[in-house]
Chain A
Amino acid sequence: MNFALNLNYFLVLAAALFCVGIYGLISSRNVVRVLMSIELMLNAVNVNLLAFSNYIDPQNIRGQLFTIFVITVAAAEAAVGLAIILAIYRNRQTIDMERFNLLKW
């Protein structure tokens, strides 16, 4: 049996992490947990980018550059998202996703 890692292992791991993130996104009712699921999905994307960078483009490592941009955008997204949560919480006194239905009708 061959004990060398290849691209497929990392891609399958990233797919599993991404699907766990999607499940958390659609099933959780706490807004903060939804944000945490989004962070998980962004990290799955980072694993994908780094795996491609290492196995397909090892000289220019463009995947690592994209990962750094993704990390930057994720930090900005987390800050703005948490500020929005605080604003909603002050106005509606709840963090339940099922009660954020002002825009639905």
Chain B
Amino acid sequence: MPSLGTGVQFVSFFILSALIIGASLGVVLAPNMLYAAFLLGFTFICLSGIYLLLNADFVAAAQILIYVGAVNVLILFAIMLVNRQAPETPVPLKKIRDGIGGIVCFGLFSLIATTVVRTPWPYSTEAPVTNTTLKIGEQFFTNYLLPFEVSSVLLLMALVGAIMLARREFVPDQTVTGDEPLVLPERSREDLEPALKKLPVSTASEE
């Protein structure tokens, strides 16, 4: 990939940074969940631009394919499956708690930024590799073969676990042998209603 001039890189870095921070604040603060999910996808796309500035073209493509194409779509499905417009019950001291959280996060940011600026980083003077995809494949099948294979097992486990957790099961009867069957039970709504009333809730004034 021909490298851009330093001025162009500088300007595009600041434009992308402004877009990323603005969109991620939108993800956190937007009142509508659907807008938040689309802003999350926009954040991912801008981040892949940052990855291109860092000479990571393969990772940038993987970011768009996996994050925008898979994770964001999964989140959109989750929003549409569970989005019930229930009025949020007020929680005591919500504003103060959020304020304290914001102050703590800003403090953490200033701490990290100070550390970053004061640390003398051991910059390398070597030229970056030209074909990152080739290098990544070479590393995966020599030095990092075991983590590579373990990650495939992890993906299989996540697949089976997600299906197991999300499939619909009603409260089962005893099996023939008499022991508890290995399923995640889901009660029907009528059974659940009296049980929900008895559960402890965070605010006493809610019911």
Contacts and interface: CB of A to CB of B under 8 A. Distances in A.
B89 A37 contact: no
Contacts of A19: 105-106, 108-109, 112
Nearest to B51: A50
Nearest to A47: B50
24 contacts: A3-B7, A8-B117, A11-B112, A12-B116, A13-B50, A15-B112, A15-B113, A32-B33, A33-B36, A36-B75, A39-B67, A43-B44, A56-B122, A60-B139, A65-B139, A74-B67, A79-B162, A83-B162, A86-B165, A86-B166, A87-B184, A87-B186, A91-B192, A95-B84
Interface of B: 6-7, 9-10, 13, 17, 20-21, 24-25, 27-28, 33, 36-37, 40, 43-44, 47, 50-51, 53-56, 58-59, 62-63, 66-67, 70-71, 74-75, 77-79, 81-82, 84, 86, 88-89, 91, 97-98, 101-102, 105-106, 108-109, 112-113, 116-117, 121-124, 126-129, 132, 135-136, 139-140, 144, 147, 151, 154-155, 157-159, 161-166, 168, 184, 186-187, 189, 192, 196, 199-202
Given A23-B28, A79-B159, 20 more contacts: A3-B6, A3-B7, A9-B17, A15-B109, A17-B24, A21-B24, A32-B78, A33-B28, A33-B33, A35-B75, A46-B51, A54-B56, A61-B129, A61-B132, A64-B56, A69-B151, A72-B155, A78-B75, A94-B86, A105-B200
